[in-house]
Amino acid sequence: MSEQTFNGPITLAFSGASGAPYGLRLLEVLVSLNYQVYVLISSAARVVLDTESNLKLSGNEQKATEQLQALFCAKDKQIQVFGKDNWFSPVASGSAAPKQMIVCPCSAGSVSAIALGASDNLLERAADVVIKERGQLILVPRETPFSPIHLENMLKLSRLGVTIMPAAPGFYHQPQSIDDLVDFMVARILDHLHIEHTLAKRWGYGE
């Protein structure tokens, strides 16, 4: 049997900010569009996933991979979860890391660490790799209000070419549910990844 052929891969990281439904929905859509996704999940993000989505994700890479594959009906090897200390994963090296990465949701702490180039865990290292390799990094911070420290860190990253996309859904499309608000943000992320979708109506195109 021939190996599966996927689009991508794309790196999707979950950090400890509120907003787990955004990241999960993005993962679901990427899988449905036949993208291979490398998933990074911080320890704090596991708590948020449980709190906001009742998803108790295993701390074991293989078990977590199997959980997400089953949840989103993914093909074999379409989703691969890498632990925070797996320095042998593809995302840890510029020679193998995907050129596109999204941190969704992105905590203020992760913004700070990425801005400093800390690379103390795999999520931070993967982001550092994308920046140094001149790839596309999208951060979806979910914090309010932003302190001057947060704003300075985001400005620094924006000047380096990082896309800062706060989880701030619009209302001009007259959302009828929380899912509509989530899809609004996921649609904007997909737009910046240049991935075609039908999640949300575009401004000026009517019904």
Res. 16: pLDDT tops 90 = yes
What is the amino acid identity at position 134?
R
Instruction: Tell me which residue of 73, 70, 67, 72 sits closest to 46, measured CA to CA.
Output: 67
Instruction: Tell me which residue of 206, 186, 182 sits closest to 197, measured CA to CA.
Output: 186
Best CATH choice for the domain 7-192 from the list 3.40.50.1950, 3.40.50.150, 3.80.10.10, 3.50.50.60: 3.40.50.1950
Predicted confidence (pLDDT) per residue in 70-127, tens digit:
999 999 999 999 999 999 999 999 999 999 999 999 999 999 999 999 999 999 999 9
Angle at 109 between CA 10 and CA 20, to 5 degrees: 50
Do 145 and 168 touch, CB atoms closer than 8 A?
Answer: no
Predicted confidence (pLDDT) per residue in 28-62, tens digit:
999 999 999 999 999 999 999 999 999 999 999 99
What is the amino acid identity at position 120?
D
Q: How far apart are CA 9 and CA 79, in angstroms?
A: 9
The per-residue pLDDT for 203 is 73
Res. 183: pLDDT tops 80 = yes
- Percentage above 70 pLDDT, the chain: 97
| Residue-range domain boundaries for the chain | 7-192
The per-residue pLDDT for 206 is 56
